Amino acid sequence: MSYPEVTTPGADDLRRLARSLVQLLDSARQLALAEQGTNELAARVEEHLGVPPQDLPVVSQTIPMYQLVDVQVAFERWVEGDPRRSSEIIGVRGWQRRSHTFGELLGTGRTFRVGIGPADYVDVPDSPDSTKSCIQFGILLMADEGERWAMLVRIEDRGPFKQAVLEVVSHDKGRSQHLLADLRRLAVQHSVLRGQVLTLTQGEGEYGAFQFLRRPTLGRDELVLPDATLSQVEEHVVGIAHHRDRLLAAGQHLKRGVLLYGPPGTGKTHTVRYLLSQLTDVTAFVLSGQGLRLFGQACSLARLLEPSLVVLEDVDLVAADRSFGPMGNPLLFEVLNQIDGLGEDVDVTFLLTTNRVDILERALSERPGRVDVAVEIAAPDSDGRLRLFRLYGRQLGVAELSDDDLAPASRSTEGRTATYIREVVRRAAMAAAFEDGTAAIRVSGEMLERAAIELLADRSALTRSLLGGAVEPDAEPPIHGGVAFAPRGWVGYGPMRGRDEPKPFGAEH
Ligand X SMILES: Nc1ncnc2c1ncn2[C@@H]1O[C@H](COP(=O)(O)OP(=O)(O)OP(=O)(O)O)[C@@H](O)[C@H]1O
> Where does this chain bind ligand X (CB under 6 A)?
223-225, 264-270, 314, 355, 418-419, 422, 480
Residue number, 247 or 471, with CB nearest to ligand X? 471
Residue number, 268 or 370, with CB nearest to ligand X? 268
Closest separation between CB of residue 265 and Mg ion, Å?
8
199 binds Mg ion per the rule CB under 5 A: no
Q: Are 172 and 180 in contact (CB under 8 A)?
A: no
Stretch that binds Mg ion, among 39-47, 119-127, 266-274, 418-426 (CB under 5 A): 266-274
Stretch that binds Mg ion, among 33-41, 117-125, 147-155, 263-271 (CB under 5 A): 263-271
Reported residue count of the chain is 509
Query: Of 209, 57, 53, 60, whose CA–CA distance to 124 is shortest?
Result: 209
465 binds, among ligand X, Mg ion, none (CB under 5 to 8 A by kind): none
Q: Side-chain half-sphere of 34: how many Cα atoms within 13 Å? A: 12
> For residue 167, which phi and psi values (nearest 5 degrees)?
-125, 125
Residue number, 265 or 393, with CB nearest to ligand X? 265
Is the backbone of residue 148 left (phi > 0), alpha (psi -120 to 50) or beta?
A: beta
Closest separation between CB of residue 300 and ligand X, Å?
27
Q: How far apart are CA 368 and CA 365, in angstroms?
A: 5
Q: How far apart are CA 192 and CA 200, in angstroms?
A: 15
Binders of Mg ion in range 355-374 (CB under 5 A):
none
Residue number, 202 or 266, with CB nearest to ligand X? 266
Residue number, 267 or 494, with CB nearest to ligand X? 267
Cis peptide preceding 478, ω within 30 of 0: no
* Closest chain position to ligand X (CB): 267
269 binds Mg ion per the rule CB under 5 A: yes
Closest separation between CB of residue 417 and ligand X, Å?
7
288 binds Mg ion per the rule CB under 5 A: no
Binders of Mg ion in range 112-171 (CB under 5 A):
none
Stretch that binds Mg ion, among 29-37, 268-276, 340-348, 439-447 (CB under 5 A): 268-276
Per-residue H/E/C for 168-217: EECCCHHHHHHHHHHHHHHHHHCCCCCCCEEEEEECCCCCEEEEEECCCC
70 binds, among Mg ion, ligand X, none (CB under 5 to 8 A by kind): none
Q: How far apart are CA 451 and CA 453, in angstroms?
A: 5
